[in-house]
């Protein structure tokens, strides 16, 4: 068999297996909207863990992080952090408990209940939607790149994206969250095996060992494995570690995964395991670093991992890496599609027309899956530079919800619906602006010392959001008091 | 219910240890190019704190009064 045929067959086998398991998982279950999107709240620790971890083992984890290690050295090490698990340990059980008490199935429901405002629920759904579309596009673009690389160019990125999208759409429509959970199982096993193997084999093969590899790189490029003095410097690194720990649990599908837990304890246990799962990143960093002195000139750092694997191994291994890559795009992709579809059906359409019955909402959600997929496809194929830049901002967008979620668990929430609406709007606009013009702290504070200019610029958006939320909430306090927010306060006290 | 303040403090240590330490680790690395267990100092520091962070939080989890309370609720 030719190189292409071998690696394409391996990828194909895994695709079919993933589909089969996903579809089989839904057999014999009555599918209400709650069952379809949160698995009837009956998942134990193991499955929730896999769903949440599915968020970590994405296309970015495989291609992006190895690409950073290859191109930027020490700055890539921040990827191994999991500071967010400490925030999650305390925050998620509260979200779960509140969700269970009030039978919530989405993130919008959470805001509606907490802030006693259906309009805020719709607003949050819209923020979730504009955050997830870029994220979905990143998965699709990554999918195209992986398959075209793994097939030695036999399948074009465009064809690969079509195949992937059709597969994901079909199984999301049939099985909902069960499909995601079971495919996540194969994905995680496959990717861990492949990445750990490559992360050990490549350094030993080319340098004699991991320590030898790092020394060789250090000798050839002194300082490469540390941080830069300017730009990707220590202050950038430290501020990014902290800033990135806030947004992780704010994705709409993060709420769904949390709600699907059996009890608060299983959620806590879960957050404790997440960082260990993250140690996997270490092996991705090894792979990326091993390419530094072996691969020269790739068109795009993201394909460094494929460049080194192709020059080292037979097509069998390339096919396995391709299959692992395919699944890292499909699993998060399916979660994103499902969440986006139920978000629109439940939190926008049903919110605007409350008399729609649950069966209609459910079938609407199901049929919105291909629609959302089509929207993402259009953007994926036509993304001009402006949209490409906006893509980077999905994480920045959802992070803006953090303050409102955290304060909602305080005994006396300093924020009200007006404040949250204003603050999040300001935060999202600043994030979009920053990404569109490629702003840094230096853009806003040109006279500041260099350590300050290197701080992660996302801090500006989050601080502006907090300040505006507080000011507007305080200013409108009397307004909401006169409009019967006694009920809201009662609800808030109950929730806390 | 027992106070959770000590648990919050432990969590804060687990949270801040990694980022704050990076400031010194990178300075030491720039001057002396230290490797620990074959890894450049900065990377070793990250791995060390993942393990320390999990260790600290496991302790917090064992001491967390919420777990006991929920168990009581469940058996009632």
pLDDT, one tens digit per residue, over A202-217 is 999 999 999 999 999 9
pLDDT of residue A496: 41
Q: What's the CA gap between A255 and A108, in Å, rounded?
A: 10
Q: A247-285: b or e for each residue (b if 16 or more CB lie within 10 Å)? A: bbbbbbbbbbbbbbbbbbbbbbbbbbbbbebbbbbbbbb
Q: What is the pTM of this model?
A: 0.86
Question: How confident is the model over A424-453, as a mean pLDDT?
Answer: 87
Chain A partners within 8 Å of B39 (Cβ): 210-211, 214
Proportion of chain A in helix, strand, coil states, percent, rounded to 5: 80, 0, 20
Which pLDDT band holds residue A446 (cuts at 50, 70, 90)? confident
Q: What's the CA gap between A273 and A61, in Å, rounded?
A: 18
Q: Is residue B74 part of a domain?
A: no
Q: Which of A213, A289, A211 is nearest to B36 (CA)?
A: A211
Q: Using CB atoms, pick whichever of B11, B26, B67 lies closest to residue A265.
A: B67
pLDDT of residue B2: 67
pLDDT value at A386 more than 60: no
Mean pLDDT of chain A: 83
Minimum CA–CA partner of B10 in chain A? A86
Residue B50 lies in domain: 5-66
Q: Is residue B15 part of a domain?
A: yes
Q: How far is CA A82 from the centre of its chain?
A: 14
Contact A85 B47 (CB under 8 A): no
Mean pLDDT of chain B: 88
Question: How confident is the model over A237-242, as a mean pLDDT?
Answer: 90
Q: Is residue B76 part of a domain?
A: no
Out of A27-36, A59-68, A150-159, pick the least confident: A27-36
CB B61 within 8 A of CB A272: yes
Q: Which of A360, A370, A70, A317 is nearest to A201 (CA)?
A: A317
pLDDT value at A244 more than 60: yes
pLDDT value at A458 more than 60: yes
Determine the residue among A78, A207, A211, A234 to mutate to test chain B binding: the one whose Cβ has the most chain B Cβ atoms within 10 Å: A234
Please state the length of chain B.
Answer: 76
Q: What's the CA gap between A487 and A465, in Å, rounded?
A: 26
Summarised one tens digit per residue, pLDDT across range A152-193 is 988 888 898 898 888 888 878 777 666 666 777 778 888 889
Which residue carries 């968020």 as its tokens?
A: A55
Which two structure tokens, joined as six digits, stand for A313?
């191994």
pLDDT value at A392 more than 70: no
Helix (H, G, I), strand (E, B) or coil at A413: coil
pLDDT of residue A145: 86
Chain B partners within 8 Å of A86 (Cβ): 11, 14-15, 53, 57
Residue A97 C-alpha, separation from nearest chain B C-alpha, in angstroms: 11
pLDDT value at A33 more than 80: no
Out of A61-75, A169-183, A187-201, A347-361, pick the least confident: A169-183
Please state the length of chain A.
Answer: 496
pLDDT of residue B1: 54
Residue A251 main-chain phi, psi, to 5 deg: -65, 145
Task: For A256-297, give the DSSP string.
Answer: HHHHTBSSHHHHHHHHHHHHHHHTHHHHHHHHHHHHHTT---
Contact B22 A241 (CB under 8 A): yes
Which pLDDT band holds residue A482 (cuts at 50, 70, 90)? low
Minimum CA–CA partner of B20 in chain A? A238
- Residue A15: Cβ within 10 Å count: 18
Radius of gyration of chain B (CA): 18
Q: What's the CA gap between A301 and A109, in Å, rounded?
A: 41
pLDDT value at A225 more than 70: yes
Q: Which of A273, A92, A267 is nearest to B58 (CA)?
A: A273
Which two structure tokens, joined as six digits, stand for A347?
């939190």
Between A77 and A140, the higher pLDDT residue: A77
Q: How far is CA A205 from the centre of its chain?
A: 33
Chain A partners within 8 Å of B23 (Cβ): 234, 238
Question: How confident is the model over A299-315, as a mean pLDDT?
Answer: 90
Which two structure tokens, joined as six digits, stand for A446?
């040109």
For residue A164, give Cα distances in angstroms to A39, A72, A158, A373, B59.
24, 30, 10, 11, 43
Which pLDDT band holds residue A387 (cuts at 50, 70, 90)? low
Which two structure tokens, joined as six digits, stand for A427?
């935060």
Q: What's the CA gap between A66 and A142, in Å, rounded?
A: 13
Question: How confident is the model over B42-71, as a mean pLDDT?
Answer: 90
Contact B38 A214 (CB under 8 A): yes
Determine the residue among B15, B23, B32, B64 to mutate to test chain A binding: the one whose Cβ has the most chain A Cβ atoms within 10 Å: B15
Out of A17-26, A274-283, A406-415, pick the least confident: A17-26
Q: Let me know the angle formed at the C-alpha of A105 by A181 and A418, rounded to the nearest 5 degrees.
A: 130
Q: Is residue B71 part of a domain?
A: no
Chain B partners within 8 Å of A285 (Cβ): 43
Residue B16 C-alpha, separation from nearest chain A C-alpha, in angstroms: 8
pLDDT of residue A437: 81
Contacts 24+ apart (CB under 8 A), A219-223: A220/A292, A220/A293, A221/A73, A221/A292, A222/B33, A223/B30
Q: Is residue B73 part of a domain?
A: no
Chain B partners within 8 Å of A82 (Cβ): 50, 53
Which DSSP helix (H) or strand (E) runs through A52? helix A45-53
Question: How confident is the model over A293-302, as a mean pLDDT?
Answer: 84
Chain B partners within 8 Å of A80 (Cβ): 43, 46-47, 50
Q: B20-41: b or e for each residue (b if 16 or more CB lie within 10 Å)? A: ebbeebbeebbeebebeeebbb
ipTM for this prediction:
0.91
Q: Using CB atoms, pick whichever of A80, A85, A209 lies closest to residue B38.
A: A209
Summarised one tens digit per residue, pLDDT across range A410-423 is 989 999 999 999 99
- Is residue B69 within 8 angstroms of chain A, CB to CB? no
Q: Say which DSSP state A248 is in.
A: G
- Is residue B50 within 8 angstroms of chain A, CB to CB? yes
Q: How far is CA A490 from the centre of its chain?
A: 34
Q: Which of A164, A121, A169 is nearest to A146 (CA)?
A: A164
pLDDT value at B74 more than 70: no
Q: What's the CA gap between B41 and B48, in Å, rounded?
A: 10
CB A32 within 8 A of CB A200: no
Helix (H, G, I), strand (E, B) or coil at B40: strand
- Residue A180: Cβ within 10 Å count: 33
Which DSSP helix (H) or strand (E) runs through A62? none
Among A167-171, A196-200, A224-228, A342-346, top mean pLDDT goes to A196-200
Q: What's the CA gap between A348 and A83, in Å, rounded?
A: 33
pLDDT of residue A448: 87
Between A487 and A410, the higher pLDDT residue: A410
Contact A218 B47 (CB under 8 A): no
> What is the tally of structural domains in chain B?
1
Question: How confident is the model over A35-59, as a mean pLDDT?
Answer: 60
- Is residue B5 within 8 angstroms of chain A, CB to CB? no
CB A226 within 8 A of CB B26: yes
Contact A275 B26 (CB under 8 A): no
Residue B39 C-alpha, separation from nearest chain A C-alpha, in angstroms: 6
Q: Using CB atoms, pick whichever of B14, B66, B71 lies closest to residue A86.
A: B14
Q: Is residue B28 part of a domain?
A: yes
pLDDT value at B51 more than 60: yes
Which pLDDT band holds residue A93 (cuts at 50, 70, 90)? very high
Between A179 and A468, the higher pLDDT residue: A468
- Is residue B10 within 8 angstroms of chain A, CB to CB? no
CB A105 within 8 A of CB A38: yes
Helical ranges in chain B per DSSP H? 5-32, 41-63, 65-75
Q: Is residue B35 part of a domain?
A: yes
Out of A354-368, A476-490, B10-24, B33-47, pick the least confident: A476-490
């Amino acid at each position: 068999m030719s190189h292409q045929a071998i690696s394409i067959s391996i990828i194909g086998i895994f695709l079919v297996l993933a589909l089969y398991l996903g579809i089989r998982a839904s057999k014999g279950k009555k599918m209400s909207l709650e069952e379809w999107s949160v698995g009837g709240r009956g998942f134990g620790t193991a499955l929730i863990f896999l769903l949440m971890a599915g968020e970590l083992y994405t296309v970015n984890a495989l291609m992006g992080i190895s690409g950073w290690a290859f191109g930027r050295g020490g700055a890539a090490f921040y990827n191994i952090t999991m500071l967010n698990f400490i925030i999650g340990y305390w925050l998620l059980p509260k979200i779960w408990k509140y969700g269970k008490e009030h039978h919530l199935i989405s993130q919008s429901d959470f805001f509606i209940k907490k802030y006693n405002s259906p309009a805020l629920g719709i607003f949050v759904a819209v923020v979730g939607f504009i955050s997830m579309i870029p994220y979905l596009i990143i998965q699709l673009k990554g999918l195209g790149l992986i398959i075209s690389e793994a097939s030695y160019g036999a399948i074009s990125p465009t064809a690969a994206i079509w195949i992937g999208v059709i597969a994901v759409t079909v199984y999301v429509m049939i099985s909902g969250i069960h499909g995601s959970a079971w495919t996540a199982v194969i994905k995680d096993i496959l990717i861990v095996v492949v990445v750990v193997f490559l992360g050990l084999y490549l350094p030993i093969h080319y340098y004699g060992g991991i320590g030898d590899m790092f020394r060789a790189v250090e000798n050839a490029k002194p300082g490469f494995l540390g941080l830069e003095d300017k730009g990707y410097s220590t202050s950038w690194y430290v501020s990014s570690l902290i800033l990135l720990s806030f947004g992780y649990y704010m994705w709409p599908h993060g709420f769904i995964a949390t709600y699907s837990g059996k009890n608060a304890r299983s959620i806590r246990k879960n957050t404790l395991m997440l960082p260990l799962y993250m140690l996997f990143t270490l092996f991705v960093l090894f792979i990326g670093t091993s390419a530094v002195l072996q691969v020269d000139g790739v068109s795009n750092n993201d394909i460094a991992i494929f460049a080194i694997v192709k020059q080292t191994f037979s097509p069998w291994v390339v096919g396995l890496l391709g299959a692992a890559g395919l699944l890292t795009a499909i699993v998060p992709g399916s979660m994103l599609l499902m969440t986006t579809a139920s978000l629109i059906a439940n939190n926008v359409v049903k919110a605007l027309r409350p008399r729609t019955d649950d069966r209609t909402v459910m079938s609407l959600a199901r049929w919105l899956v291909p629609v959302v997929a089509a929207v993402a496809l259009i953007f994926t194929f036509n993304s001009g530079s402006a949209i490409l830049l906006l893509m980077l901002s999905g994480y920045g967008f959802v992070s803006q919800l953090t303050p409102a979620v955290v304060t909602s668990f305080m005994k006396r929430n300093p924020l009200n619906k007006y404040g949250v609406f204003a603050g999040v709007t300001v935060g999202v606009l600043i994030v979009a602006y920053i990404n569109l013009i490629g702003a840094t702290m230096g853009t806003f504070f040109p006279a500041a010392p260099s350590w300050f200019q290197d701080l992660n610029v996302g801090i500006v958006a989050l601080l502006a959001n907090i300040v505006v939320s507080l000011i507007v909430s305080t200013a409108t306090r009397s307004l909401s008091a006169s409009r019967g927010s006694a009920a809201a306060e009662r609800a808030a006290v109950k929730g806390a | 219910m027992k106070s959770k303040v000590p648990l919050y403090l432990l969590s804060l240590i687990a949270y801040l240890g990694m980022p704050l330490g990076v400031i010194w680790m990178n300075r030491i690395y720039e001057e002396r190019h230290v490797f620990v267990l074959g890894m450049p100092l900065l990377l070793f520091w990250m791995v060390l704190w993942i393990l320390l962070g999990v260790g600290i939080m496991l302790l917090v989890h064992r001491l967390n009064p919420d777990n006991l309370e929920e168990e009581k609720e469940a058996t009632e």
